[in-house]
């Protein structure tokens, strides 16, 4: 098993199952003995619930983007306080996981970042300066598998966010809009030199869904290192939001995510 670890960013259209897949991967990797850091960059902040943090603890989490005291401590400026340009552009955030990470079930570490506002456009403000520094720190952490669940869309693929992540999971369902989003995201990921791009088509109900997606992907298949078709499983709605119980049930959905996990591990070890 690699002691270097690897970093995976997960994106796709809203509502296609990114958070569910991220949380299942977190538990599956932890079950194989890896140290896992799950990073929630989605403004809905549902990842802690899906991993199995109690609602009381999850509701108490303050995302880093809203943690005004920590932002001021590290950058020297408090957001919305008339800071001008007098703040640190390279804050030391080496303590961020230890201070604000939450230990979830199965030893999964969780860090809730909150929304990065126009990170790729150079917005100069203490909040983004802090979050960019956190991303740089995360990229340097060794011996961990880092899974980052992102907000819907592709805007987060700015270099400040994606740099250092060596694998991407692009999640869609068998609909035109969702497939268009992942095609665009795959092109951006290639531009950012993310070499291993995994396409996941979630909630497949019939062979016709696969045929439809294949047709919509025509001319873009070479963008993806692999394609994974995960069947729809109505049991998932019974375990919402906590995914852990389904790991103990016979499930083609979990089998599909486990196949994805094995591929991620193989690619991660090869790149290590």
pLDDT digits (tens, 9 = 90+) for 213-245: 999 999 999 999 999 999 999 998 888 899 999
Which whole number is the average pLDDT over 29-49?
93
Quick check: 33 pLDDT over 60?
yes
pLDDT digits (tens, 9 = 90+) for 107-129: 999 999 987 554 444 556 888 88
Residue 35's domain comprises 5-271
Quote the pLDDT of residue 121.
45
Instruction: Copy the structure tokens of residue 249.
Output: 């049930």
Residue 101: CB atoms within 10 A of its CB come to 15
More confident residue, 197 or 159: 197
Q: In angstroms, rounded to a whole number, what is the distance separating the alpha carbons of residues 6 and 16?
A: 24
Q: In angstroms, rounded to a whole number, what is the distance separating the alpha carbons of residues 263 and 200?
A: 12
Tell me which H or E stretch contains 11.
Answer: strand 5-12
- The backbone torsions φ and ψ at residue 94, rounded to the nearest 5 degrees and listed phi first, read -65, -15
Quick check: 83 pLDDT over 60?
no
Residue 264 DSSP class: H
CATH number where 176 lies: 3.40.50.300
Percentage of the chain exceeding pLDDT 90: 66
Which whole number is the average pLDDT over 130-142?
84
Instruction: Copy the structure tokens of residue 1.
Output: 């098993």
Quote the pLDDT of residue 272.
65
Burial of 147 from C-beta contacts in 10 A (0-12 / 13-18 / 19+) = buried
Q: How many residues does the chain have?
A: 272
> Is residue 182 a contact partner of residue 223, using CB atoms and an 8 Å limit?
no
pTM, full prediction: 0.92
State the total domains in the chain: 1
Quote the pLDDT of residue 20.
96
User: Strands 226-231, 196-204: parallel, antiparallel or unpaired by DSSP?
Assistant: parallel
């Amino acid at each position: 098993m690699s002691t270097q670890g690897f970093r995976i960013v997960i994106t796709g259209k809203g509502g296609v199952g990114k958070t569910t897949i991220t949380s299942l991967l977190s538990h599956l990797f932890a079950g194989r003995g890896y140290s896992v850091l799950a990073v929630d960059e989605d403004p809905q902040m549902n990842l802690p619930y899906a991993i199995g943090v109690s609602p009381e603890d999850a509701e108490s989490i303050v995302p880093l983007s809203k943690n005004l005291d920590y932002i001021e401590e590290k950058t020297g400026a408090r957001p919305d306080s008339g800071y001008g340009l007098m703040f640190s552009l390279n804050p030391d955030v080496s303590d961020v996981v230890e201070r604000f990470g939450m230990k979830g079930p199965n030893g999964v570490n969780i860090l809730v970042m909150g929304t990065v506002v126009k990170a790729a456009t150079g917005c100069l403000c203490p909040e983004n300066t802090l979050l960019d520094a956190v991303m740089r720190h995360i990229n340097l952490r060794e011996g961990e598998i880092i899974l980052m669940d992102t907000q819907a869309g592709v805007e987060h693929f700015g270099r400040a966010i994606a740099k250092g992540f060596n694998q991407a999971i692009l999640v869609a369902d068998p609909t035109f809009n969702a497939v268009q989003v992942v095609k665009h995201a795959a092109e951006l990921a290639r531009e950012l030199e993310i070499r291993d791009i995994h396409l996941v088509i979630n909630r497949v109900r019939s062979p016709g869904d696969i045929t439809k997606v294949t047709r919509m992907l025509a001319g873009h298949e070479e963008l993806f290192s692999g394609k994974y078709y995960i069947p729809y499983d109505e049991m998932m709605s019974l375990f919402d939001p906590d995914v852990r119980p389904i790991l103990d049930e016979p499930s083609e959905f979990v089998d599909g995510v486990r196949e994805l996990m094995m591929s991620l591990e193989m690619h991660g070890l090869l790149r290590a």
